[in-house]
A and B are shown apart, each in its own frame.
Chain A
Amino acid sequence: MFAAKRLSLPALFVPLILIAILATAGRGLADESHAQRRAEMIHLIEADVRRTSVYLKRSALDPRVLEALAQVPRHEFVPSSEVSRAYQNRPLPIGHGQTISQPYIVAIMTDLLGLEAGARVLEIGTGSGYQAAVLAALDTRVWTIEIIEPLGLEAAERLQRLGYDRIETRIGDGYYGWPEQAPFDAIVVTAAADHIPPPLIKQLKPGGRMIIPVGGRFQVQQLVMVEKTTEGKTTTRQILPVRFVPLTRAD
């Protein structure tokens, strides 16, 4: 303790500079390893989708969706304590009782929306901002609303810092959607809901799709997809995120 006081200024600076150099190099290394782990995660998701053959009437996801997942630095969307686990194919806690979804589920949900470049997407429940970033990586424009203020502020700052300028954020009640920007090609409702808000259905374009994951914070039980036909009629499809038939002999 007392010995430190007698150290000269340069003697203090040298280790600091060394630490800075190491940190920068480490950062570079870290980025590289993040990219590598992200690629591994994508392989895992692909394999899982092939194995479980989700109810998409095809056995592989749209390659663009996987590319989008490969672009988004998921480690930037999790709290520092979770960075080491950012590329595990699992949901992670992000504070405030919320989670960042399992990448596998994000991939399936994004795929189900069938988005074209330039599509307009509304998201209810920004959370960490990860889903919005994945959507934006598909060259779409995203409007996203978060109900928990500190979470919304954090996500807005993060998305701005990472350069996602095609995402607009707002804090508040998602029930009424974002009428100024309506209609939307797709709507993602990640906040828990016991019914589907009618204003959101109104803001869905004919031919558009809305997707709602139903279940707890760490597990999705089913995905509810609302489709609006070109005539404006709505139907819902209830999708298990896995291939599972309830009868032993049925198929």
Chain B
Amino acid sequence: MVRERLNSQQLRPPVFAVMLISAAALAYEILLMRLFSIIQWHHFAYMVISLALLGYGVSGALLSLAHRWTSPHFAGLFVANAALFGVSTVVCFLFAQRLPFNTLEMIWDLTQWTYLLWSYLLLFIPFFFAANSICLAFSRFDAQISRIYAFDLMGAGLGALGIIALLYWLSPEAILRWLGVAGLLAAVFALWEMNAPRPWRIAPWVLIPAVLLSLLPHDWFVLQLSQYKALSQTLQISGARLLSQTSNPMGVLSLVANDRIPFRLAPGLSLHNPHEPPEQLALFIDGDAPTAITRFTGDKHEIGYLDYQTSALPYHLAKPDRLLILGLGGGSGLLQAKYHDVERIDAVELNPRIIELLTLTHADFSGWPQLQIGTSIHEAEARGYISSHDDRYDLIQVSLLDSAGAGSAGVHALNEGYLYTREALQDYLIRLTTDGMLSITRWIKLPPRDGLKLFATAIEALRESGVEAPDQRLMMIRGWNTSTLLVKKRPFTVQEIADMLTFCDSRAFDTVYYPGMHASRANRFNILQQAYFYEGATALLGNRAETYQAEYKFQIEPATDDRPYFFNFFKWESLPEILSLYRRGGFSLLELGYPVLLLTLLQAITASLVLILLPLWAFRQKGKLNLAGYHWRVGGYFLAIGLAYLFIEIAFLQKFILFLAHPIYAVAVVLCGFLIFSGVGSFYSQRIVNGKLFHSLSRAMLWLIAITLLYLQILPDLFDHLADLPGAAKALVSLTLIAPVAFLMGLPFPLGLSKVAARAPRLVPWAWGINGCASLLSSILASLLAIHLGFNLVVIAALLLYLGIGLIPLEKA
């Protein structure tokens, strides 16, 4: 009754409510990534959230089936869907985190897969309701699609920016609650915005849950960490207590003390180490990867153990006057340098909270008053710092900060990282003094993976820097769980080699490679079945390096800035053998990241096909598909723009990460920039093309292609020239560069959808659903393409798609 009266009035499109829902939905997506990275692991988060976005596809499919029924009930349905979106954001997550799901057990236990399915089903619900609201608006106000889409995009842009700002300010679980409230408020707001009659009669039904949500006890929101995360395990030990917990977009930092059973975090310590580490605090990021903050009283003898790690090697070859530490972490690299009396130290750390812990809140414990003499700490990203400073160093130390556990399961495989690419190593070498050295320590995996990949990267970096004999400038040693690689600008001297041998012999470390090394010096202390490291290193230096890489069962070709996947070691050829061993102790040979990505893609493709074809089948059953193939054109068009949009957005994000020198700011600037300028594009789309869709849109697409190709050419040099700019100026430059591209990318969707609305209104939700499925497929495909072909080719693929849509006429039958 109320609903009928609602619809009897002249309704206005609830564009601001759409904007708010869209903002909340995008914020929710980013928030879920954070929440699941905290309670579970990143790769799982990626899979669940990617598939939850199928909510957009399901929404499109269902609404296209119910098209006739939804239109007259628009106002009520819009409000209901917005409200349900609000409620389900909170409720679905709270249920999902209570599932007894354990990713680690998935290979052993098939029931874990049903929990995974439940996670999908639960988390897809909020996106489904959000997508419904927006799609309903498109269908009901088909003459104003450009305007609604503009608000939708701008909302998403603001959502991206807002969530990042909020994550600096509130804990993720607190934000979850307020996102739910935001959804409900959007529903209330829509009542007035739509000009619904007597909105106060419905408003209480939405406001009551909003009040309830904001009053829910805090206990309900407490995050349930997997009991297998390092933090959960540490807190089980008697005497362990959580000292502090802070959160920002980079992660939740937990600091744990234990007065009864001390922490002794010292990766790769020699068996011959006679010193027990002093008291330590354990620092966890997202409940994993513990590093130590070690008590330092100023007495060097107490930290003697640091001289028994493989990373201490460079100090035994030469005493550096100036040292750069990339990755401060808990500060053990800094302590190690102080132990070796280094006087001038620059240390770079991205996370300001870590710097605070070390230099402020726990300064007395960390010995900061002593450490700060001659030390400067820079809050920056490693590559960004290197490219914006001209200082030269005698030693650059790249710290070992990721956790062994996570690395070994291959879960970082899909994290783009610019620390260990060929270009990164070249940059480090440029910043060295004539006799300077670069030192990189990594965890050891068996059979060797990152150690050899890094070695291959160093060889290439040296060659690219014009060195003809890289074999004279490399040195690598290993203990039982860490390896340290030294790259020197000039050849190593005989004395340096002798010092290295003394260092290794006294600590039972093995030499992997040094100039003039004989095979008999390999594999003596930490004995492997074969001298894999030595054999690998010499093969990579020899003429058959390419054959060796091809025949190696893991992917050890160097990562580059265009293909920044250092941690991806997966090779198809090895899969059958590894699968045959996986329950017999061979599981760690499987590098999970890539298969998870592929599995996600397969699931997404299957679900998308069902969602796209099901409505068509239903139309045909009802005899309502009399469009002479028009629907295929619509399908192709929206599939193409859905794929292309995110291809470009993701590839540009990667390109701007290096320039903006901060992954979080880059996400904020790039996502927000793309979405908002595309929103502007959508807003003006009708005026720009003025009804002549075919010719004008294709012309617009040619402009887009031309500008983007120009960017691919000029961006690297432009970024190099502007590397010294302050952060805000860089953000402004980035937004200026993004604006024209994003503006043009905002045209095809509203123009296409308006045409479809005029010719076949039933296909509007269907097209929306396809666009949703395509966006989801796009983000997964972009990673896959980038792993194999690089991000430049991801951009080219997108441009081809944009070229293609210019050729698909939607207004003609």
Contacts and interface: CB of A to CB of B under 8 A. Distances in A.
Interface stretch (B80-88, B202-210, B349-357, B402-410): B402-410
Contact of B585 (A97, A149, A240, A249): A240
B372 interface: no
Interface string B524-566: 1111111010000000000000001001111000000000000
Nearest to B292: A194
A196 B445 CA distance: 17
A192 B524 CA distance: 25
A91 B108 contact: yes
A245 to B, nearest CB: 8
Nearest to A249: B551
B57 to A, nearest CB: 33
B364 interface: no
B526 A195 contact: no
Nearest to A195: B269
A195 to B, nearest CB: 4
Chain A interface mostly helix, strand, loop or mixed?
loop
Contacts of A221: 408, 445-446, 588
B265 A48 contact: no
A220 B480 contact: no
B589 A242 contact: yes
Interface string B243-274: 00000000000000000111011111101011
B269 A90 contact: no
A238 B105 contact: no
A196 B308 CA distance: 12
Contact of B480 (A224, A246, A247): A224
B237 interface: yes
Interface residues of A, number: 60
Interface in A184-227: 192, 194-198, 201, 214-222, 224, 226
A238 B526 contact: yes
A91 B553 CA distance: 27
B236 A234 contact: no
A73 interface: no
A49 B481 CA distance: 26
Chain B interface mostly helix, strand, loop or mixed?
loop
A220 B271 contact: no
B271 A108 contact: no
Interface string A239-251: 1111111111110
Given A172-B261, A221-B445, A242 B584 contact: yes
B527 A248 contact: no
Contact of A147 (B238, B274, B480): B238
Contacts of B273: 195, 198
Interface stretch (B226-234, B606-614, B703-711): B226-234
B44 interface: no
Nearest to B550: A248
B405 A246 contact: no
Nearest to B405: A216
Nearest to A240: B446
Nearest to B529: A55
Given A215-B408, A238-B528, A93 B583 contact: no
B182 to A, nearest CB: 35
A216 B228 contact: yes
A48 B104 contact: no
Given A218-B107, A226-B271, A248-B551, 18 more contacts: A48-B584, A51-B584, A97-B228, A97-B236, A108-B585, A148-B236, A194-B404, A195-B268, A215-B405, A234-B271, A238-B526, A240-B529, A242-B581, A243-B581, A246-B447, A246-B553, A247-B551, A250-B530
5 contacts: A147-B261, A148-B236, A198-B274, A238-B528, A241-B586
